[in-house]
Amino acid sequence: MNDKYGRKINYLRISLTDLCNLRCKYCMPENGVGKIEHDSIMKIEEVIKIVKVMVKLGIDKIRLTGGEPLVKKGIIYLIEELNKIKEINEITMTTNGILLYEMAENLKRAGLSRVNISIDTFDKEKYFDVTRGGNLEKVLKGIEKCKEIGLTPIKLNTVLIGGFNDDEIDTFVNYTLENEVDVRFIELMPIGQASDWHKEKFISNQIVLDKFKELIPVKSEDISSPAKYYKLPVSKGKIGFINPVSCNFCSNCNRIRLTSDGKIKPCLHTNEEIDILTSLRRGEDIRSIIVNTILNKPKEHELNENGFIPIIRNMNSIGG
């Protein structure tokens, strides 16, 4: 289905839970998220019902996010059931990687296509600090396990944070020399907990291009991808840049989001949310809600507009 600007909307990102086994400083409050009533969260069966309606409207790509999707009970069953839906071409996941080593084989067997792994530093102590207790070794073991079993291509998502990991740009770029992975630098966005961080610690991805003049542009096969790719002349992997702040990519946006409490978000950078879970539970027609949401998807975000109001929700409850 196309929105009113002619964009084909075929990509659904589903936040399965707002819970996480980490407490990243720019993503979640130190004490974690406030407790949400169990009945307010979509059940696995409800996720499947919503997806089955959406695929009839053209959704053929699913990304599972959180919070941390691997802490969601029934995650393997969900992937198995989504994999049975013939209209779906790809099921992917964004994860912090802490549980990947032990779960990767079952995820692949269930039908997961590939993973994006959030990792903002290769320094064990800095990782422990920014995640408030995370174990970097578990993430690195998870990456190796995914390589081993072919849960690929692997993409590493790295949020550039001034004064924290800008001194590791060389490490991340050079990681692609011997590793067939995509390292994607993501600009820090003014969302929830990160709104104040954005004011003080934002740095543009341009800093990487300025530092590595030898990077060669790589043509993307997917025009809707938010990342612009480059590579070092002899590298096995690629470098991607996702620049929602300094250079938006709204004209080719093909996605909508479903939050863990059953709200559709037509755009990440808006506080607009449409409740679909209540209607589903009442037995009402959710197809019309989805159609209307897609048709009225905003033309573009307003991150750089005067008076922009930062997103209230933290990223862990949106699903990114």
Instruction: Tell me the C-alpha to C-alpha distance, in Å, between residue 80 and each of 19, 113, 290, 301, 308.
Output: 22, 12, 24, 34, 41
Alpha-carbon distance of 174 to 115, in angstroms, equals 21
The pLDDT value given to residue 97 = 98
Q: pTM for the whole thing?
A: 0.91
* 201 appears as a binding residue in the annotation: no
Q: What CATH number does residue 296 fall under?
A: 3.20.20.70
Position 123 in a domain: yes
* 253 appears as a binding residue in the annotation: yes
Digit-coded pLDDT (tens) for 243-255 = 866 556 788 899 9
Alpha-carbon distance of 3 to 296, in angstroms, equals 7
Position 3 in a domain: no
* 117 appears as a binding residue in the annotation: no
Amino acid at 68: E
* 229 appears as a binding residue in the annotation: no
For residue 273, the SS3 value is coil
Position 5 in a domain: no
* 259 appears as a binding residue in the annotation: no
Digit-coded pLDDT (tens) for 70-104 = 999 999 999 999 999 999 999 999 999 999 999 99
Position 6 in a domain: no
* 189 appears as a binding residue in the annotation: yes
Across the beta sheet with 114-118, the strand order is 216-218, 227-231, 238-242, 181-187, 154-160, 114-118, 90-95, 61-65, 11-15, 255-258, 263-265, 274-275
- Residues 6 or more apart in contact with residue 34 via CB below 8 angstroms: none
Position 120 in a domain: yes
* 67 appears as a binding residue in the annotation: yes
* 146 appears as a binding residue in the annotation: no
Whether residue 308 contacts residue 77, with contact meaning beta carbons closer than 8 Å, is answered with no
* 256 appears as a binding residue in the annotation: yes
Q: How many CB atoms within 10 Å of residue 127?
A: 22
Alpha-carbon distance of 47 to 247, in angstroms, equals 33
* 247 appears as a binding residue in the annotation: no
* 11 appears as a binding residue in the annotation: no
Position 111 in a domain: yes
* 109 appears as a binding residue in the annotation: no
Closest CA to 3 of 254, 222, 244, 225: 254
Domains identified in the chain, total number: 1
Q: Which domain holds residue 310?
A: 11-318
The pLDDT value given to residue 189 = 66
* 63 appears as a binding residue in the annotation: yes
The pLDDT value given to residue 319 = 63
Q: Which residues of the chain carry a pLDDT beneath 70?
A: 29, 31-35, 189-200, 244-248, 302-320
Exposure b/e, 49-78, CB count within 10 A at least 16 = b: ebbebbbeeebebbbbbbbbbbbbeebbeb
* 267 appears as a binding residue in the annotation: yes
Position 261 in a domain: yes
Position 275 in a domain: yes
